[in-house]
A and B are shown apart, each in its own frame.
Chain A
Amino acid sequence: MTFLILVSVGFSFLITAAIVIFFFKFHRKSKDEIGVAIHGDMRLETMWIVIPGFLALIMFGWGAVVYVDYRHAPQDTLDLYVIGKQWMWKVQQPNGRREINEMHIPVDRDVKLVLASEDVIHDFFVPAFRVKMDVVPGHYNTMWFRPTKAGRYHFFCSQYCGTNHAVMGGWVTVMEPSDYAAWLSGSTGENENPVVAGEKLFAEKACSTCHLSNGTGRAPSLNGVYGGTVRLADGSTVTADDAYIRESILDPPAKIVAGYQPVMPAFQGQLTEEQIMSLTAYIKSLQSQPVPATGAGVISAPGKK
């Protein structure tokens, strides 16, 4: 930002000074006077194409580095699930504790937000952290940041989403790790651990009839799948991240695991975003389960997140 401001102010000053100086210095002196015809100068043209071009490349490069880093969350993040809907935010902590229009996180920890929308496009924006990301219905977006100072920080919705777009905001509370742990466990009221909820759903929706954990079922075992590499029927490989899990639930034919038939029914329209998130949380929890020798979903040893 500072670099850009400096360059901008520099050029603005240069041009403005030039204009002002020329404006007064070359003020018409007599009624019939004409100016001196100077048609152009290749050296000048080249110079003022090359120099701005070079500065532009610096601006581009610097911004690109920051952006690429922003788009690739580090490993070992604290993951929160965020659902935007007209006109409120629902936040779910890893242990299931829910918040509305509030988000509690520990300081000095990489935090990743998985964003989903229940209706129109929203955007989760925390000005103090210099981060935002659109929340688009129909797929997940993720964003990450690392708060470095405890405090309370405003967040806003910053993609116009209808009547109460302007009041669809809340507060991020960054706490010392011990305070956060205390807050997290001191929960009251109904907040089911998403892993437990997901496990229940897994049985209810009959996923367990095919996805036997010992690998002998019609579908691959899900032990160790999350975070690992999966080989697909067309020979390609894919990393089993949140988006992959979600797609496999909603649109199974999109990526069939090698060695298996495309028989899984699609759950598009049958699960809410929260249910998908709890199933994902449950499948994630199977990471550390023993991977069967045959019938595993992963092709490499799990556990490397």
Chain B
Amino acid sequence: MHRTGELSGQFQTLEQQKESATLGMWTFLITEILFFGGLFLAYTINRHTYADIFAFSSRTIKLSWGAINTVVLIGSSLTMAMSVWSAQVGKKKLVTFFLIATLVLGSVFLGIKAVEYHDKYVEHHIPGASFDMYYCTNNPGACNLGAEDLAKERAELKDLTEKMGGEVAVNSHAQLFFSLYFGMTGLHALHMIIGAGLLLWLIIVSTKGRFTPQWNTPVENVGLYWHFVDIVWIYLFPLLYLIDRH
């Protein structure tokens, strides 16, 4: 990508260049849909087959964090859109301001994600050797759960164990849920981190005042990418957090 909006050698006109960049970003986003789509499909099929255990596992994830993150991310899409608008009307300082706001909100999102992952680590819900759905109920002090929640979990777990025929079955299917959870949110987080990198680059370029109403293609295209990552989360949130909440 060029630095100052000058014509790159292979293009005939600036318009052709802009058209190519935008079409390129849309095409790339289509590949991303197919990429996440495979994961979503695997999740949906397993969710259908193991409805109970998936619902139970989903309930062990703190809804509040997910809800806050959703608001944060939607907010960041708003600030991103504002940044594009600012460029289109020539308010250069605002461009930088809104880009920084987007980056901040994106970082908040990632920070909350880190907190969530840490929770899962403490509760032994990370797939692998130490995965154990029974850890919290067997070690009451270890997890960050109130007495009432703990009792509820213990009761539901007992039900499930009977239904599924043993602890091994419960653990292997719950591990499936969490593998998909970490896979999907992890892939999403990776895309957020890449987005953060792109935003940083945009911020630096925007402080030099290079984005103008005549040329702001990078802001627009990064905006497209950012909105896409936001939409992926909009699907992820209900699928992972909101199954069967009463």
Measured CB to CB, the residues of A under 8 A from B are 253, 262, 265-270
B166 CB contacts on chain A under 8 angstroms: 266, 268-270
Contact with A along B145-172 (1 / 0, CB 8 A): 0000000000000000011111011000
Q: At the interface, is chain B mostly helix, strand, loop or mixed?
A: helix
A266 touches B163 (CB 8 A): yes
A253 CB contacts on chain B under 8 angstroms: 52, 163
A267 touches B165 (CB 8 A): yes
Q: At the interface, is chain A mostly helix, strand, loop or mixed?
A: loop
A269 touches B168 (CB 8 A): yes
B165 touches A262 (CB 8 A): no
CA distance A227 to B240 in the complex (A): 40
Place the interface of chain B in its size category: under 10
A270 CB contacts on chain B under 8 angstroms: 165-166
CA distance A268 to B52 in the complex (A): 16
B169 touches A265 (CB 8 A): no
Minimum C-beta distance from B45 to chain A (A): 14
A266 CB contacts on chain B under 8 angstroms: 163-166, 169
B164 touches A268 (CB 8 A): yes
A268 touches B163 (CB 8 A): no
B163 touches A262 (CB 8 A): yes
- A sample of 20 inter-chain contacts (CB < 8 A) reads A253-B52, A253-B163, A265-B162, A265-B163, A265-B165, A266-B163, A266-B164, A266-B165, A266-B166, A266-B169, A267-B165, A268-B164, A268-B165, A268-B166, A269-B165, A269-B166, A269-B168, A269-B169, A270-B165, A270-B166
CA distance A283 to B163 in the complex (A): 23
A268 touches B169 (CB 8 A): yes
B168 CB contacts on chain A under 8 angstroms: 269
B169 CB contacts on chain A under 8 angstroms: 266, 268-269
Minimum C-beta distance from B223 to chain A (A): 46
